[in-house]
Amino acid sequence: MSSPTPPRLSAAIDRATGGTRLRRLRQSDWVRRLVRESDVTPNDLIWPIFVREGDGDPEPVASMPGVFRRSVRGCAEAASEAYDLGIPVVALFPFTGPGQRDERGSQALDPDNLVCRAVRAIKAAVPDIGVLCDVALDPYTSHGHDGLLHDGRILNDETVEILCQQALVQAEAGCDILGPSDMMDGRIACIRSALDGAGFRDRMIMSYAAKYASAFYGPFRDAVGSTGALKGDKRTYQMDMGNTDEALREARQDILEGADMIMVKPGMPYLDILTRLVDEFAVPTFAYQTSGEYSLIMAAAQNGWIDGERAMMESLRSFKRAGAAGILSYFAPSAAALLR
Ligand code: PBG
């Protein structure tokens, strides 16, 4: 920073800045680390995992390089890897073929469905890791929607009734955190009272409070087998991307109804929403770095267009800087490994 013979301008710069030189605090790695306001640790990460029927090796998801669909046993192994990496929670999503789907998403209520078996296997193998389950019907419906479809419309209250049962089935299997991702009105209150009524007062709810109708879920729908299934779009229940006040209303409502934690989704294109919710409610608020966000970083990295590792860490740090308590990310194991 200081040069051997100060140029003529130096005195003028000192006068203009009053001697403040912001670069002073950036001059070496140790001082950058010292003054850093926010950082990511493995404790901030939730790892979404895809579970499939059958045994055998993990099967790659074509649109998500480095992401796999795993057998029930493979999920328990992944959970144990996560535990060793210091990741506190894994989130489970089932891959379901057309044969396992129907109009009402009946499989959601089967206590022996894929997700429930995976929860039990994880809890048996790694009792000290948290397990989060999505509460929504889309992996199980033939039309790919999160709720019941009638005459081209998604029924709200009828869907909520089923979601309560789905939450109970998952809680019974050992799920610690229920994550309603369906965006129906009133579902948090109903799920909370269903859980409490069944003696599951300790189970937490992380509501997908502000979930936008987004193009960034594309690869996920491929991973869970919904791509071909989905009829139309989800814009009558997921939020319109132009709105921020509505996100506050959604979050306020979910917190009043009993959500312990809230989430914003997608992540990177919605950091403004994240910060607004954190500032407004002071409730643990999470960001979901969605499949599309993951895949675009991975694709660019694979082409050599960006440094994948640095882009990964930068993206995760951006969530912490914006105020997130934690991040759901497919990068969780790679990031945690790098942070050790
Ligand atoms: C389903 C659900 C979705 C995701 C999580 N839960 C997709 C959707 O709403 O269509 C997306 C996750 C991702 O893209 O990584 N309710």
What is the percent of the chain where pLDDT is above 70?
99
Q: Which residues contact 223 (CB under 8 A, 6 or more apart)?
A: 50, 61, 63, 64, 67, 69, 93, 95, 291
Confidence check: pLDDT of 244 > 70 = yes
Q: Please state, in angstroms and rounded to a whole number, the distance separating the CA atoms of residues 256 and 205.
A: 12
278 in any annotated domain: no
Distance of CA 185 to the CA centre of its chain: 20
- Does residue 17 lie within any of the structural domains? no
**Is 265 noted as a catalytic residue in this protein?**
yes
In a domain, 300, yes or no: no
Average pLDDT value for residue range 268-294: 98
Residue 31 lies in a domain: no
Between 6 and 215, name the one with better pLDDT: 215
- Per the annotation, the verdict on 320 as an active-site residue is no
Has residue 80 been placed in a domain?
Answer: yes
Task: Supply the mean pLDDT for the chain.
Answer: 96
The whole-number pLDDT of residue 2 equals 55
Other C-beta atoms within 10 Å of 107: how many?
Answer: 20
Residue 280 has pLDDT above 90, yes or no: yes
CA-proximal residue: ligand 1, atom 16 (nearest) = 181
Percent of the chain with pLDDT over 90: 94
Tell me if 324 is assigned to some domain.
no
Q: How far is CA 245 from CA 206, 239, 325, in A?
A: 20, 11, 21
Report the C-alpha gap between 250 and 210 in whole angstroms. 6
Q: Is 37 annotated as a binding residue?
A: no
Give, for ligand 1, the residue of 92, 138, 289 to mutate: max count of ligand atoms closer than 8 Å to Cβ.
138
Residue 332, in any domain of the structure: no
Distance from residue 138's CA to the centre of ligand 1 (Å): 9
On whether residue 151 sits in a domain, the answer given is yes
**Do 172 and 199 touch, CB atoms closer than 8 A?**
no
Please tell me the distance between residue 6's alpha carbon and the centre of ligand 1 in angstroms.
Answer: 58
Tell which one of 132, 211, 220 to mutate to probe ligand 1, the residue whose CB is within 8 A of the most ligand atoms.
Answer: 220
Per-residue confidence band for 302, with pLDDT thresholds at 50, 70 and 90: very high
Domain count, the chain: 1
Nearest residue CA, atom 7 of ligand 1?
217
Which residues span the domain enclosing 153?
38-261
Residue 1: its pLDDT value, please? 52
Residue of 123, 211, 234, 320 marked active site: 211
pLDDT digits (tens, 9 = 90+) for 32-85: 999 999 999 999 999 999 999 999 999 999 999 999 999 999 999 999 999 999
Q: Output the residue whose Cα is nearest ligand 1's atom 5.
A: 181
Average pLDDT rounded to a whole number, residues 284-288 = 98
Work out the pLDDT band at 3, boundaries 50, 70, 90. low
* CA end-to-end distance (rounded Å), the chain: 32
Tokens of 147: 């709720």
Q: Give the CATH number for residue 241.
A: 3.20.20.70
Residue 282 alpha carbon to ligand 1 centre in Å: 25
Q: Show the ligand 1 pocket: residues with CB < 6 angstroms.
A: 134, 136, 138, 146, 181, 217, 220-221, 234, 290-291
Instruction: Report residue 98's pLDDT band, with 50, 70 and 90 as the boundaries.
Output: confident
pLDDT at position 123: 98
Ligand 1 centroid vs 136 CA: distance in angstroms? 9
- Complex ipTM value: 0.97
